[in-house]
Structure 1
Amino acid sequence: MRLDILDRGYRPGAKLLFTFIRLFSGHPVPDAAKIVFYRPDFYGARAKDATHEAMRGPSPWSVADRELMAAYVATVNESEFCTAAHTATARQAYQSEPMVTAVLTDLETAPIAEPLRATLRMLGKLLTERTVGAADMRQVLAAGATREQIEDALAVCAAFDTTARLADAFGFEILSHEGFDAGAKYLLRRGYQ
């Protein structure tokens, strides 16, 4: 059930920004962006900073890898909005729709490096079982991932586990294919600020 709070209650500056975005992009502002502006002092500003750092801050993972992680987290969480948004972004970042589709369809046979596969496997376990242990971390390290990569992947997971739950709780509107592609271009150009 979509909550109408996403369509009202914004400050005048946010309303004006939404109008400009719609005029210049030709697409509505995604609800993921709107929720950040609803209560910026409570959620928005902190969420933007944490998500931007996880997705665009210094990391041994590429931007494409982190967008794929976000799409994988959303897929495991069965969040329609976040899966579509980050699948579009990962496809554009990698310039490879078949590879992204392969990962989200069957992680074990997807054409990716073992450190990324092991990391995604660990994130999947964390999301489904709500726990991982030292043995899980040893497996990821044995596959070639570094501690820094594991920490960065967990930051991506935390950001998008939260976002996926908000998307589903608030009933984020599913955009058109063109709308998700436009959002992906924006995210790759500007990040999450």
Structure 2
Amino acid sequence: MRLPDVERGDTLRSRTLIRIISAVSGIRLPDAARVAFYHKGFVGPMFGAWTQAAMRGPSEWSIGERELMAAMVAHWNSCTFCIGAHRAIAVRGTDPQTVNACLADYRTAPIPERLRATLSFLETMTREPDKLDATHAQAAFSAGTSQAQLVDAAAVAAIFNIVTRYADALDFTIPTEEEFDKAAGMMLKRGYS
């Protein structure tokens, strides 16, 4: 259900910022950013800081790998907006064919075993969270994933298990591939907070 205040902004300041950013970027400000302007208590500074830390903070995972994880969580949750948005960012730091192969089936994609095992952990975390246990973590560790990497990956999945649900609940508009690409460039420069 699209809320008019998410579309246009709920305050004069938000409306003005949405218009200015859209005009300067040359694209409609994506709904993910619009939500950040909607009632700060909904997706406010704390959520933005958590997302920024998980996606752009220090990590043994590259930005491209973390964006791929976000795209995979979106894929498992069938969130078209988030698949497009995070795929567009991931392909700027990871080979596009590899990203597409992961989205088709990460089990057969040409990726390192530690990433494959981590994606398996995240898939269980996303699709069957009550089945997630120490054996899933141990499988990732056995494949070469460090504890810090698994913690970072779990943070990415936790965030995007939230984001995908509100993206679909608020009926986010699906940008064109060109708009996703432009937004990806902005996200790489600006980050999430």
TM-score category by the smaller chain?
over 0.9
CA RMSD of aligned residues (A): 1.2
Aligned 8 A contact 1:81 1:167 in 2: yes
1:8 positional shift: 3.8
Which runs of no fewer than 5 residues in structure 1 stay unpaired? none
TM-score normalised by the chain length of structure 1: 0.95
Aligned 8 A contact 1:103 1:110 in 2: yes
TM-score normalised by the chain length of structure 2: 0.95
Q: Which has the higher contact order (CA 8 A, sep 6+)?
A: 1
Of residues 101-110 and 38-47 in structure 1, the stretch that sits farther from structure 2 once superposed is 38-47
Between the aligned partners of 1:145 and 1:85, the Cα distance in structure 2 is: 26
Between the aligned partners of 2:16 and 2:41, the Cα distance in structure 1 is: 19
1:171 is the counterpart of 2:168: no
1:162 is the counterpart of 2:162: yes
Stretches (4+) displaced over 6 A: none
Aligned position for 1:103: 102
Superposition pairs for residues 110-189 of structure 1, below 5 Å?
A: 110-131=109-130, 132-189=132-189
Of residues 60-69 and 14-23 in structure 1, the stretch that sits farther from structure 2 once superposed is 14-23
1:84 positional shift: 0.6
Residues 162, 137 of structure 1: CA spacing in aligned structure 2 closer, same or farther, 3 A cutoff? same
User: CA offsets per residue over residues 149-179 of structure 1, 9 Å max, x none?
Assistant: 0000010001111100000000000011111
Q: Is the partner of 2:91 in helix, strand or coil?
A: helix
1:187 positional shift: 1.0
What percent of counterpart residues are identical?
42
Superposition pairs for residues 51-130 of structure 1, below 5 Å?
A: 51-94=51-94, 96-130=95-129
Aligned 8 A contact 1:36 1:47 in 2: no
Between the aligned partners of 1:169 and 1:106, the Cα distance in structure 2 is: 26
Larger helix proportion of the pair: 1
Whichever residue aligns with residue 161 of structure 1, its letter is N
Between the aligned partners of 2:172 and 2:42, the Cα distance in structure 1 is: 19
Between the aligned partners of 1:3 and 1:38, the Cα distance in structure 2 is: 10
Which runs of no fewer than 5 residues in structure 2 stay unpaired? none
Between the aligned partners of 2:30 and 2:47, the Cα distance in structure 1 is: 16
